[in-house]
Amino acid sequence: MFIHRELLIAILVLTLDGPVHAGEIIGGDEAAAHSRPYMALLYMYNESGEKSHCDGFLLNEDFVMTAAHCQADSHEVLLGVHDVRKSNGRQNISVAQTFPHKDYNKTDYHRNDIMLLKLSSKAHFTENVKPIALADKGDVSLPKSCLVSGWGKTAKNKISEVLMEVKVTLVDKIECAKYNMYCSKGETGPGEGDSGGPLVCEDKKAYGVVSSMIKPHSNDPNIYTFIKIPAYRSWIDSTMTNASKSSDARDD
């Protein structure tokens, strides 16, 4: 689900060979079963019923966060998943409302690529379904060692059957900070289908949302971008509060 646009190429002063079709979490390993209980598998459906997928993560019993480029005609959130072939303990919940960032533009997938999903019914917290805390506006120092997990596509161009994860180290790039992104680079990182998953760092908070991968012309390492959650906390908090108030008003 990675998109490569000229704007970010200019931002990072890179030249691309063309669209990159990445595989599964690159260089990663299978996560311990249900060790990431906040993870959500997001199915997206278009009007013809075709299905694709992104990842997301549970914020509370009502909301999941993902990337804005994961918008579709309708969505279904799967919680409590490790192996997609197994349905025991899994919660399938449709999405009632989508809230892409107000400044997101689908012709520019690299800026403001963040979206909230309001569930049609409340998630039931269990050992395998739990929310994750978000980094706050005060968390301004650059985390060094973080982890990304997801069900990105495998080499056979199919969804990974089990949750994969990989460690990434963020790099201090002025260009990334300027556009409210974290960046990592190297041969390991998220791949196609991992969009919308969380960047989780040492304090176990979600610091970023998986957005894109850029592959340079040369032999330079890939660059992975993550939308910087601390920069969007005011928008996140106000959006969830207003959506909840609106829902309560309709129920009265």
Question: For residues 58 and 103, what is the distance between their CA atoms, to the nearest angstrom?
Answer: 23
- Dihedral over alpha carbons 36, 187, 106, 154 (to 10 degrees): -60
List active site positions. Answer: 69, 113, 195
Residues 6+ apart with CB under 8 A from 230: 135, 136, 137, 138, 139, 140, 207
Contact indicator for 166, 25 with CB cutoff of 8 Å = yes
Alpha-carbon distance of 76 to 81, in angstroms, equals 13
- φ and ψ of 9, to 5 deg: -60, -45
How long, in residues, is the chain?
Answer: 252
